[in-house]
Amino acid sequence: MDFTGFISNYGLIILLVVLLVFMFWSSRRRQAKQKLEQEAKARQTVPGAEVLLQGGLFGTIVEYDPTDLDKPAIVEIAPGVDIKVHSQAILRVVTPGEETVPGDDYLGSDAHDAVTDTPDPDSDADAKPNA
């Protein structure tokens, strides 16, 4: 049997096997990456750490058990205001200064353009209508 005959008979099967092996490899790689990210998040999530919750709330961890994810975490969202949240509702640990956007950076150059905008002297907007 020559090479072209082999490929015509078994080419599709070989292609399917290669695709199947690639899918398994890709899935295992993605799972390993997610596990590493979850372990890193669990190491960073300690009492006193600033966190972002799934609902968009920022708070400080008061109590968290990384070994028992079914136990709720207690997060302080304001002084004296502690809430219980599911431990997986903690989206990520926030580094200092990450959650704020300075006013000048947010406005950009549009605010400067609006303040320095002067009327065109050639326009007839200030002219009185002939009545």
Q: Strand 90-93's sheet: what is its strand order?
A: 81-85, 73-78, 58-63, 50-53, 90-93
pLDDT in the model for residue 62: 94
pLDDT digits (tens, 9 = 90+) for 29-78: 999 999 998 888 888 888 888 999 998 999 999 998 888 888 999 999 99
pLDDT in the model for residue 1: 65
**What are the residue boundaries of the structural domains of the chain, listed by start?**
1-44, 46-104
CATH of domain 46-104: 2.30.30
pLDDT in the model for residue 80: 92
pLDDT digits (tens, 9 = 90+) for 86-126: 988 888 888 765 545 555 555 555 555 555 555 555 655 55
**Which one, of 101, 79, 74, 103, lies nearest residue 90 by Cα?**
74
Q: Indicate the burial class of 29 (C-beta count within 10 angstroms; 0-12, 13-18, 19 or more).
A: exposed
Q: Is the pLDDT of residue 16 over 60?
A: yes
pTM (2 decimals)? 0.51
**From CA 44, how far away is CA 41, in angstroms rounded?**
5
